[in-house]
Structure 1
């Protein structure tokens, strides 16, 4: 018996390894793209640098910063590494920084006919960002153990799929909605398998997640038709249209693809929680019927509906906080507020995602109950 189990595990792991290698090869070929050039960047480089001297400061007697600084920087990376260059640093909120001797920055260095022009782009904050990510991952692993490690791997895989699968697909002209569905399916299967292994819980939660995300997408499309809001009503549409004209990206579908991806995390969380709860209850008391297990799953799901829906609404609200501040400060009228494209889009995104979460609960509860009891009946027949 043990030999057969080991043999099955070996075959399964071998198939997964082959599938993983094929997937990586597919991603490599997919990302062999010659991107369209939107502006001339020849001779322009973003490099790491260190401020070695303040040539001309812009601090006033009152402690304010006006205009820009002139500083001397030492290039720390790129083809100009080791060079000393004079650079300007603006004190604006978006670009530049107030330089001090020894401060590490990112500089823009341009070369033309042997002449160098440098300016400070921002503080070099990459190391701190990596540190924050490292603290986050370490916390998950320390608290979650093996499950935490699996979660970190699953998160990394999701990021890879978004950067190296979703974006190249839509750049090549694939429908963003279809690409989002593909990414949702792949990331859900991999993440659920890493967390739950090859089990009823994994299958039920994966199926429920895919159903929930599709429901969210359908609701988003339906709501957009009802409100006559399209993917062309987003705030950056002028820039996006220009990108769409130069590439094969289907701009009008990006909003709906974003809703699918945004809903994935919350739906996945609910699906796994419901499936795990039902399986745990059944393990403690196997005399419960399918109907009783379904009710237990629904009871747990009802508590999660409110919190997860609230989480999604707050997440989308947080993303549009600047708009809300403008509305409040400028005292917009009711009819003006309710018919702003940005407000309508946020409402559609929040409610569509919440609908996916809510309807995932009965779907996962039903699927899990059916699979659990079918497995028990199969075992009894074998005995």
Structure 2
């Protein structure tokens, strides 16, 4: 009797429940390696998948997006939120001449600034600037400066004060290089991503910040604004499809969990939100401002971009797995998708925590100089706030992997079997 191949004997002994789905190379938006490319358009075009996704969209996604848009319209801030007593007129100009101050030769320099805007546009104004060697970045002839304007000063010599160097041009150059790099690599999709970035900027500056300052609940504003931002960003960048709809559903679910975790641990750790720079000034001009809610809202907004990356990757991975094996079961797809997600989350979580640690680096250095005990340092609000931010955001990212994977698996599992059953019934 001829013996069976070893691989066949192993396959026979394997229980169907323990079958694993091989992960195709090149999965998940470039997170894999290899030359194997799977055409996922067949999954999007599948009638079974379309019917399942329509159920998810109709039952979950559409009501949530509708509610977010309606709430955004209701909360939209009417009018400005500027405080008149806190406003400062501004001007800019180029340094054409630099001499020592006549009366304080050892303390400052006197710059002649050709004004390019402001109330005296086109005129030359004398402005006292920090002396070379007494400022981190000395003022030189040819530099463009930002100036504050004392509007009630009658003499032009007393009207302008040095604020900082004008960095508009180098920032625009950096933005242009970034935009060209995105478009060069991703082409039309990159252009769409830049459009989504512009929508995000508009939402932050025209809705989220003004609505919070108008007295709306910061958590509600962050959830509503975040949901709208993610809907626009995902559909604009990746198109309106079954895959992007599932990714958005996972994002919104993880976003809600992040809000709950952020609120709970902010209360548990007794964070007030007063520690961040600028918080006390904002509270002074807006006494009803909820700083604790603002802190949690910042956690939510900070985690949005990474949540987007994780959910899109997980949905794309499950789509490719289904395209490679239309008969794959829900359990097989979830198992393979989670194996992909583990690697991705390990790197993304580290990135998020390091980003928050980098933002708190000056504070950490100050504590290091003081030689304070570690337990004391982490209990201070400035450090505890960054720890809560990093860990809450990471928990939201971790939750996004199984949530999105499960939703995607429910949408595309057993495609060929369901289709065969439908044909037999007909």
Equivalent residue for 2:373? 333
Within the candidate set 127, 138, 141, 2:169 is matched to: 127
Q: Secondary structure at the match of 1:288?
A: coil
Q: Any unmatched runs of 5+ in structure 1? A: 1-18, 59-64
| Residues 247-274 of structure 1, C-alpha deviations (whole Å, 9 max, x = no match) | x532231100000001111111100000
Report the Cα offset of residue 149 of structure 1: 1.3
TM-score norm. by structure 2 comes to 0.75
Residues 181-190 or 232-241, more deviating: 232-241
Superposition deviation, residue 99 in structure 1? 2.9
Coordinate RMSD, CA, aligned: 3.0
Aligned equivalent of 1:260: 300
1:107 equivalent in alignment to 2:147:
yes
Counting only pairs closer than 5 Å after superposition, residues 286-301 of structure 1 correspond to structure 2 as: 286-301=326-341
Q: Quick one: which of 332, 351, 355 aligns to 2:391?
A: 351
- 1:19-59 Cα shifts (integer Å, max 9, x gaps): 9xx99x969x74522533233x5xx532121112223269x
- Kindly indicate whether residue 238 of structure 2 is the aligned counterpart of residue 191 of structure 1: no
User: Structure 1 residues 111, 88: closer, same or farther in 2, change over 3 A?
Assistant: same
For 2:84, which of 17, 23, 37 is the aligned residue? Answer: 37
Counterpart residue number, 2:44: none
Ranges in structure 2 where 5+ consecutive residues have no aligned partner: 1-65
What is the CA-CA distance between 1:360 and the residue it aligns to? 0.7
* Structure with larger RCO (C-alpha < 8 A, sep 6+): 2
Q: Per-residue deviation at 1:112?
A: 2.9
> d(CA) in 1 for partners of 2:268 and 2:409?
36
Match of 1:78 in 2: 118
**Per the alignment, in what secondary structure is the counterpart of residue 145 of structure 2?**
strand
Query: 1:303 and 1:34, CA in 2 relative to 1: closer, same or farther beyond 3 A?
Result: closer
Q: Would the aligned equivalents of 1:106 and 1:124 in 2 still touch at CA under 8 Å? A: yes
Matched-pair contact (CA < 8 Å) for 1:216–1:356 = yes
**1-structure distance, mates of 2:106, 2:315:** 59
- Output one character per residue of 1:193-250: Cα deviation in whole Å (capped at 9) or x when no partner: 11222212111110111111221221122222332223345455432321322xx532
| Aligned match of 1:51 | 95
How many pairs align?
352
Instruction: Give the number of the structure whose alpha-carbon radius of gyration is greater.
Output: 2
TM-score (norm 1): 0.83
Q: Which residue of 2 aligns with 1:218?
A: 260
CA distance, structure 1, for counterparts of residue 139 and residue 391 of structure 2: 45
